[in-house]
Amino acid sequence: MRPSLAILIGVAAATAAAVLPPRMLEPGTRGPETRGTRRITFTVWGMPFEDRLFLNGYARGYEAAHPGVRVNYQRHSDINMKYNAWHARGYGPEVMRVMVTDYHEMVARGMLEPLDAFIADPADGLSEADLAAFPRQVIEALRVDGHLYALPEDNAVMGLYYNKDLFDAAGMAYPDSSWTWDRLRAAATQLTRRDASGRTTIHGIDMFIWQWPFMHFFAQAGGVQWSPDGLTTLINARDPDGSPGPGVRALEFLHALAHEDQSWEPYFGKDQGTGPDSRFANGTVALYLDGSWMAPNFENRNPALRFAITLPPRGRTRADCGGSCLWAISSHALNKDEGWRMLRWLVSPEQALRYWDTLRVAPPANTTVIMSPAFRSTHGIPRPGRPGAFDVPPMSESLFADRAAWILEAFRPDPATGVAPAFVPTGLYQRALEDEMARMLREYLESPTGPSAQEALDKAARNVHQVIDRDRAAGRLAPVSRATR
C-alpha cells in the first residue's frame, strides 16, 4: 500500500472516530441488545488504570444496581474534540465528564442539558441536604443565569509539599497554614544549597510554570479575574488608588523567588533533564507547590521519600486555587432521564467516597464525605500480576495527617468571613485566559530583565480581549467598551 493511501485511510478513520455518534462506537458493549434494555453512553478521559473506577466501578456498578440498563463506556484522550464533533452532528452522551475550564463555553454553545428540572423532581431529584453537601464555591461557579448544567465530581486544590528530611537537616520547623509569603521566601532561601561550583544541589522551592500558581497567588493578593459580565479580564487591574494591583504583586513575588532570592530555578525545559516533580521525587527540593493529585504519584515514584503537605501560605487574604471535573448530560442525549439517574448516582456519597478511595487524585465534591472518618484512609488500585505493587497506592489512617489533613482546611470556612480558602476560577473565556497566563509566565520569568510585571499583564489582557472581541464580531455582537474599566 502506498504511504499516501495509508495516510488517507488513517485520516478517514480518525475523522470517523471523531464525528460518528457515541452509539456507533461501542468499546463497552457486551453482546446484543435485549428487549426492554435502556441504553446510555458514559464518556470520560483518564489513564488506562482508571478504568478500574470508571468502567468496573461506575459503568458496571451502575448496571448491577439498575437491572435493565446497559452502559456504553468510552474513555478518550481527546474528549473535547469528540464532544465538539458530536455536538456539531447533533449527538451526545447521556453522562459526560467535563472540565470546569470548558464548562461555561459548552453552556454558551448549547452543548449541555439544564439540570434544574431533574434536580427539582420530587421522586428522582436532589434534596436540600444533597445540594448543601457540594462545596459552595463550586456550585456557585457552575450557576449560569441561575441555572445548573452540571454537578461536580471532585474539587482538586493546591498544596504546599515539603520534604521532612531536608527540614530536619536544617533544624527548621515544618511549614503550616500560618505561613505567609514572606515566611515562604525566607524558608526557601534558607533551605537552598549549592556546591563549590555554584550548582544548586537542593532547591528551596519548585513548581511548574503554568496558570494555577499564578491564579493562586493572584487571588491571595486580592485579585478578581473577570468583570461581572465576564467580558473583561481584570488580571492587569491596578488598585483603587492607582498603585500596582494584585497581578503585579503575584508576578513580582514569583520573580523574587527566581531572580532575587534564587531559591527557585524555574523549569523551562532546557538542558535540565528533569522537571520540578522529578526533582521533588528524588529528594532535591525542599518545598513544592502543586495539586492534590501528586501525593500518590510521589509515593509510587519514591516510597522512601518522607514528605507531607500543608495548606499553602497566605497573602493579603487566604485562598487556595482549585479545579473541578463535572458530570453533565449532553443536550443531544437520547435517554436524558436515565442519564440523570446515573448522574445522580455518581454524585451520591457512596460513589463520591469510591472516587477518593480508588484514585485519591482530588477530594470528592462532597463536604460530608470529606469531613467523615471514611475519608481518612483509602484502598487504592493494586497492580495486576504484581503482588504488593499499586497503580494508586493505598493511604493508611496513620498517613492521613501528612497526606490529606490539609484538605480539610481548604474546605473549612474561615470563621471570620464564612468563606473557605478553596476556590474554582471559571468564566466564559477562562480557557483563553489561562492559555494566555501560561504564555505570560514563561515570557516574564525566563528573563530577569524582560518586560515589567505591569507590561506583561497588560499584554496578556490585550490578547484575551482580542479573542473575546473577535468572537463577538463573528456573532455580530457589539464590541465591549473597556475604556472606563
Q: How far is CA 469 from CA 9, 429, 430, 472, 475, in A?
A: 39, 11, 14, 5, 10
Task: Give the integer Cα–Cα distance in Å for 225 and 221.
Answer: 12
User: DSSP secondary structure string, 322-334?
Assistant: EE-EEEE-BTT-S
pLDDT, residue 263, reads: 97
Indicate whether 481 belongs to any domain. Answer: no
Return the H-helix or E-strand segment holding 428: none
Q: What is the pLDDT of residue 267?
A: 85
Among 337, 367, 382, which residue terminates a domain? 382
User: Mean pLDDT, to the nearest integer, of 446-474?
Assistant: 93
C-alpha neighbours within 13 Å on the C-beta side of residue 164: 9
Task: Say yes or no: 30 and 47 in one domain.
Answer: yes
- Residue 388: Cβ within 10 Å count: 6
164 & 51 share domain: no
What's the average model confidence in pLDDT over 254-268? 93
The grid coordinates listed for 86 are: 458530536
pLDDT at 418: 85
CB distance 255 to 452 below 8 Å: no
Mean pLDDT of 56-84: 96
Q: How far is CA 428 from CA 60, 100, 142, 218, in A?
A: 35, 11, 11, 19
Choose among 323, 287, 284, 293: nearest CA to 308. Answer: 287
Find where cell 468496573 sits: 56
Mean pLDDT, range 293-298, rounded to an integer: 96
- State mean pLDDT over 252-265: 96
Residue 428 scores a pLDDT above 80: yes
CA geometry: angle 126, 140, 470, nearest 5 deg: 125
CATH number at residue 138: 3.40.190.10
Buried-exposed string 283-296: b where 16+ CB fall within 10 A, e elsewhere: bbbbbbbbbbebbb
Check whether residue 367 and residue 421 sit in a common domain: no
Confidence of residue 35 (pLDDT cuts 50, 70, 90): low
Total Cβ atoms within 10 A of residue 470: 10
Q: Decide if 362 contacts 293 (C-beta within 8 A).
A: yes
Residues 274 and 332 in one domain: no
C-alpha cell at 61: 456498578
DSSP secondary structure letters along 424-468: ----TTHHHHHHHHHHHHHHHHH-TTSS-HHHHHHHHHHHHHHHH
Nearest to 169 by CA among 190, 146, 153: 190
Q: Are 142 and 224 in a shared domain? A: no
pLDDT at 259: 94
Domain assignment present for residue 232? The answer is: yes
* 237 and 119, same domain (yes or no): no
- Is position 479 within any domain? no
- The chain-wide mean pLDDT, for the chain, equals 91
**Residue 119 belongs to some domain of the structure:** yes
Mean pLDDT along residues 330-340: 97
Q: Is residue 4 part of a domain?
A: no
* The three grid cell numbers given for residue 97, joined into one nine-digit string: 465528564
Q: How far apart are CA 139 and CA 135, in angstroms?
A: 7
pLDDT above 90 for 273:
no
Answer yes or no: are the C-beta atoms of 283 and 165 closer than 8 Å.
Answer: yes
Confidence of residue 334 (pLDDT cuts 50, 70, 90): very high
DSSP summary character for residue 303 = T
Q: Is residue 2 part of a domain?
A: no
Indicate if the pLDDT at residue 18 is higher than 60: no
With contact defined as beta carbons under 8 Å apart, do 202 and 285 qualify? yes
Joined together, the cell numbers standing for residue 274 give 528533569
Query: Can you spell out the DSSP letters for 377-389?
Result: -B--EEPTT-TT-
Shared domain for 228 and 361, answered yes or no, is no
Q: Specify whether 112 is located in the same domain as 242.
A: no
Share of the chain above pLDDT 70, in %: 91
Q: Pick the more confident residue, 303 or 21.
A: 303
Answer whether 0.75 is exceeded by the pTM: yes
Give the pLDDT confidence score for residue 2 in this predicted structure: 39
Give the number of domains in the chain.
Answer: 2
Question: What's the confidence (pLDDT) of residue 5?
Answer: 31
C-alpha distances in Å from residue 237, one per residue of 110, 158, 243, 317, 332: 32, 24, 10, 17, 40
Average confidence (pLDDT) over 134-152: 96
Region 321-335 average pLDDT: 97
Residues 59 and 178 in one domain: no
Whether residue 396 lies inside any domain: the answer is no
Alpha-carbon gap, residue 116 to 170, rounded angstroms: 55
Q: What is the DSSP string of 31-60?
A: S---TT-EEEEEEE---GGGHIIIIIIIIH
pLDDT surpasses 50 at 105: yes
Q: Do 133 and 68 have their domain in common? A: yes
d(CA 364, CA 354): 9
**Position 144: which residue type?**
V
**Structural domain contains residue 13:** no
Q: What is the pLDDT of residues 224-258, one digit of tens each?
A: 999 999 999 999 999 999 999 999 999 999 999 99
* For residue 1, pLDDT beyond 50: no
User: How far, CA to CA in Å, does 133 sit from each of 65, 95, 411, 426?
Assistant: 23, 21, 11, 20
Residue 123 sits in the same domain as residue 147: yes
pLDDT score for 450: 80
Give the model's pLDDT for residue 15.
36
Percent of the chain with pLDDT over 90: 85
Regarding whether 359 and 293 lie in a shared domain, the answer is no
**Using the 8-state DSSP alphabet, how is residue 480 labeled?**
P
Range of the domain at 348: 18-155+324-382
Q: Give residue-wise pLDDT tens across range 198-225.
A: 999 999 999 999 999 999 999 999 999 9
Residues 366-420: tens digit of each pLDDT? 999 999 999 999 999 999 888 889 999 999 999 999 999 999 999 998 887 888 9
